[in-house]
Amino acid sequence: MIKIVVAGISGCLGSAFVGLSDALALARDAMTRASDGDAPFTLLTASWNGASIVDGYGRSFAVSAAMEEISACDAILTPGFFPDDSGGPPQLSHLGCVAGWMRRQHAHGALVCGAGTGAFLLGEAGLLDGRRCTTHWRLIDELRRRYPRADAARGATLIEDRRVVTAGAPLAWLDIALHAIRSLCGEAAARVAAEFTAIDHGGRAAYQPGAHLSGLDPFLLEAERIVRQAGDAPLSTLDLARGLSTSERTLHRRLKQASGESPKTFIDRVRIETAQTLLETTLKSVKEIAAQAGFVDEACFRRAFRRFKSMSPGAYRSLARMRSKTKGQMFAISKSPELIPDILTKILDSCVNGVTLADPDQEDSPIVYANKEFLRMTGYALEEVVGRNCRMLQGEDRNQEQRAQLREAIAKREPIKVTLRNYRRDGEMFYNRLAIEPLFDANGRLIYFLGVQYDVTSQAKAETEIAELKAKLRALTPDESGSLAKSADFSP
């Protein structure tokens, strides 16, 4: 069963801690009644050692579990913190154990959320590095100062980037609670939860957590219906305004108030959501999906998809496939089924080394499978790898002559072995001996690039030391005149 943990940390905002706990408990009970079945998730409140926590006002709150005893969970929700004397977030360096636990849970697939200044604890865990994130607008500069590798956005309501969620609205804890339910339990469950926790008896939002209640606004609901029904027909902002019997100016104002989007962004988002469903549930080509979703051409669709989802349509399809299928099913969807045993045999035969499969039929040949040794060796989580090209391991170190050899072999669909300088997720450099093997089906069609990687750092360092020693010895060899060549390394 899905397990959601509310992080209890001394010094937090008591209202946010209790609010998260109550909102999730009420939502869980409402969803259970609505489905007339079992509870959709279990809820735990947890401190590091299971002891009660004390909030910023000195009030004590009991928790139900100890983080150090929770080996796995599906989501962690972190409340904001009571401000220090300067009005800013407190220093959190003493929470290293909690931050480390969050980092490990995220590496194992958990959704990690921070409400308001709770984002600062995610920064302590290193989870904001290279990610788009937000917090209360007054504290964006402080977030950037403490965590310079974070891509902090001022004024954003809620941002999710690779399973790290931050929110900066006044009631950000409600935002992340509903977002977690939506991500883990689905849209229908989120609507039930929102109706019970954030909607008054007249159907209006008592609090509008960014984008999670958009479908409950009759105006937005009708606007979405018009966009979806337009299908592959052109739809301008004026067309949408006419369909809603309003002016373009009023349309712009009401969409901004309800969803924070301009009419064009709203239209593109709804169409991208349609395309997501098609990518997840059909085998149609990207070109066909672009047309069916209402985009004028494939290039326009690809640009919009990357803008909204930060990945290509093909990579999104791979990620959705990975989440919903077994490995064998994942390979079988668009590849010849009789090759599955051969592929799995190759993977099993190479399991002591890092193994990846890249799909040449998708844009930029993204990774669609990586084994546990590859993840251990590189420090990345599976969801951070799938959908990306393996060159991600090279970081900014692109001046390597072996890269040209690799590109040439891949273009010719030939096997190759090279040694590259690669970088783990924490930035540590290692030497990677990479073997690429193209895999073909019975008709000679290329279906995957099999990559086998193993760490040869110790060997490379030894070879470097041997080369340096040889150079020094050559410097001591007598020249033609019979005298020794001078070496700066051996001079007194």
The DSSP result for 333-400, as a single string, is TTS-GGGHHHHHHHHHHTTTSEEEEE-TTSTT--EEEE-HHHHHHH---HHHHTTS-GGGGGTT----
Q: Per residue in 20-39, pLDDT tens?
A: 998 898 888 888 887 677 78
Residue 279 in this model has a pLDDT that exceeds 70? yes
| Assigned token pair, 366 | 């993204």
Q: Measured between alpha carbons, how far is 259 from 251 in angstroms, rounded to an integer?
A: 12
CA angle 209, 212, 217 (to 5 degrees): 90
Residue 127 in this model has a pLDDT that exceeds 70? yes
The CATH number for 217-310, chosen from 3.40.50.2300, 3.30.1490.190, 1.10.357.140, 1.10.10.60, is 1.10.10.60
Give bridge partners of residue 54 from the DSSP assignment. Answer: 60
> Shortest CA distance to 45 belongs to which of 79, 1, 81?
79
pLDDT of residue 157: 78
Stretch 249-269: mean pLDDT:
87
Q: Per residue in 175-219, pLDDT tens?
A: 889 889 888 887 777 777 776 665 443 444 444 444 444 444 678
Rounded to the nearest 10 degrees, the angle between the axes of helix 263-281 and helix 313-324 is 50
* Percent residues over pLDDT 90 in the chain: 28
pLDDT of residue 480: 53
Q: Where in the chain is the domain with CATH 3.30.450.20?
A: 325-455
CA angle 441, 447, 451 (to 5 degrees): 115
| Assigned token pair, 483 | 């005298």
Which residues, other chains included, contact 125 with Cβ-Cβ below 8 Å and sequence gap of 6+? 99, 100, 102, 103, 106, 112
Residue 295 in this model has a pLDDT that exceeds 80? yes
Question: Sign of the C-alpha dihedral, residues 462, 466, 467, 468?
Answer: positive
> Shortest CA distance to 455 belongs to which of 369, 360, 362, 379?
379
| Assigned token pair, 69 | 């005893």
Q: Where in the chain is the domain with CATH 3.40.50.880?
A: 2-197
Question: Higher model confidence: residue 152 or residue 155?
Answer: 152
Q: Which amino acid, one-letter code, is at 191?
A: R
Question: Higher model confidence: residue 59 or residue 386?
Answer: 59
Q: Per residue in 444-474, pLDDT tens?
A: 778 888 898 888 888 877 777 777 777 777 7
Q: Per residue in 342-398, pLDDT tens?
A: 555 455 545 678 888 888 877 788 887 888 888 889 999 877 887 788 889 998 888
Q: Measured between alpha carbons, how far is 278 from 286 in angstroms, rounded to an integer?
A: 9
| Assigned token pair, 113 | 């959320």
Residue 326 in this model has a pLDDT that exceeds 50? no
Rounded to the nearest 10 degrees, the angle between the axes of helix 298-309 and helix 263-281 is 100
pLDDT of residue 340: 43
Which residues, other chains included, contact 336 with Cβ-Cβ below 8 Å and sequence gap of 6+? 441, 442, 447
Stretch 227-241: mean pLDDT:
87
Mean residue pLDDT across the chain:
81
pLDDT of residue 93: 85
| Assigned token pair, 126 | 């290193």
Residue 164 in this model has a pLDDT that exceeds 80? yes
> Which CATH code fits 2-197?
3.40.50.880
Q: Where in the chain is the domain with CATH 1.10.10.60?
A: 217-310
Q: Per residue in 95-120, pLDDT tens?
A: 888 998 999 898 888 999 999 999 99
pLDDT of residue 40: 86
Stretch 134-144: mean pLDDT:
86
Q: Measured between alpha carbons, how far is 386 from 319 in angstroms, rounded to an integer?
A: 6
Q: Measured between alpha carbons, how far is 151 from 103 in angstroms, rounded to an integer?
A: 18
* Class in CATH terms, 325-455: alpha beta
Residue 282 in this model has a pLDDT that exceeds 70? yes
Q: Measured between alpha carbons, how far is 404 from 416 in angstroms, rounded to an integer?
A: 12
pTM of this prediction?
0.46
Confidence of residue 330 (pLDDT cuts 50, 70, 90): very low
* Percent residues over pLDDT 70 in the chain: 83
Q: What is the dihedral of CA 377, 382, 384, 385, to 10 degrees?
A: 70
* 415, 422 contact by CB (below 8 A): no
| Assigned token pair, 78 | 């972190």
Residue 136 in this model has a pLDDT that exceeds 80? yes
Q: Per residue in 386-429, pLDDT tens?
A: 778 888 999 888 889 899 999 999 988 889 999 999 999 999 99
CA distances (Å), origin 5, targets 65, 133, 186, 192, 472: 9, 21, 18, 20, 60
